[in-house]
Amino acid sequence: MTPVDGVVMDIGVSSMQLDQPERGFSFQADGPLDMRMSQSGESAADFINSASEEQIADVIYRYGDEPKSRRVARAIVAARPLTTTGQLAAVVRKALGHKPHDRKDPATRTFQAIRIHINRELGELSDGLVAAERVLKPGGRLAVVTFHSLEDRLVKRFFRERSGSTPAGSRHLPPAAVAAQPSFEKVGRAVRADEGEIAANPRARSATLRVAHRTAAAPWAGEA
């Protein structure tokens, strides 16, 4: 493995993929329920047509922050089989109550959650952070751009832990095991798109950039 001076990770989903109805990522145009970035393995249709109501609800709640995930999952199971994005979106809208003037389509959270689950997006991000830690030279920089709160929380926690910034435990509890030496330092504040950038690229609205410098300490063992 050749050490490098910098690693940049852009965690956003490809706009070209999102805009192709046949890839099944979006409910803006009807297409097959696919959502696989690699176009291999379990598809969105495979998941929602075979998983239990509890499993579907858990995915929608965990990865979509959907407070009515149980209601949505129940509606999905009752409507199976579902094979197109339009069918799934219609089921979710009916379950949650869709009004034409709503600023955000109620199907958004469910589609995001299923996409994240199918592609193991948070697991891939975690693996990427660990790989970057191992390949960076001392003084090298790791820059990560995320596009929703689940990703940003994972990156923020990784940098906080690896820089030794995790809050100390209670003095009333037994001392925790000695942690590894900090593998990152100079963790900068999060940077977000300004009004000008958002006007030029509306999809940058949810982007968050975090940067940290690699120390000379050995990489930590285990996952992010």
**pLDDT tens sequence across 110-146:** 999 999 999 999 999 999 999 999 999 999 999 999 9
Which two structure tokens, joined as six digits, stand for 7?
């690693």
Q: For 85, which DSSP code? A: H
Q: For 37, which DSSP code? A: S
- Is residue 107 within 8 Å of 92, Cβ to Cβ? yes
User: With 50 as the cut, is the pLDDT of residue 176 above it?
Assistant: no
pLDDT of residue 83: 95
> 90-111, pLDDT tens digit by residue?
999 999 987 777 778 899 999 9
> 180-211, pLDDT tens digit by residue?
899 999 888 999 989 999 999 888 888 999 99
Give the C-alpha separation, 59 to 69, whole Å. 8
In which band, very low, low, confident or very high, does the pLDDT at 25 lie, cut at 50, 70 and 90? confident
Give the C-alpha separation, 175 to 158, whole Å. 22
pLDDT of residue 174: 52
Give the C-alpha separation, 119 to 129, whole Å. 17
- Residue 218, SS3 per DSSP: coil
User: With 70 as the cut, is the pLDDT of residue 64 above it?
Assistant: yes
Q: What mean pLDDT is predicted for residues 158-163?
A: 94
- Is residue 162 within 8 Å of 220, Cβ to Cβ? yes
Question: Which residues does 77 contact at the CB level (< 8 Å), separation at least 6?
Answer: 53, 56
pTM, full prediction: 0.83
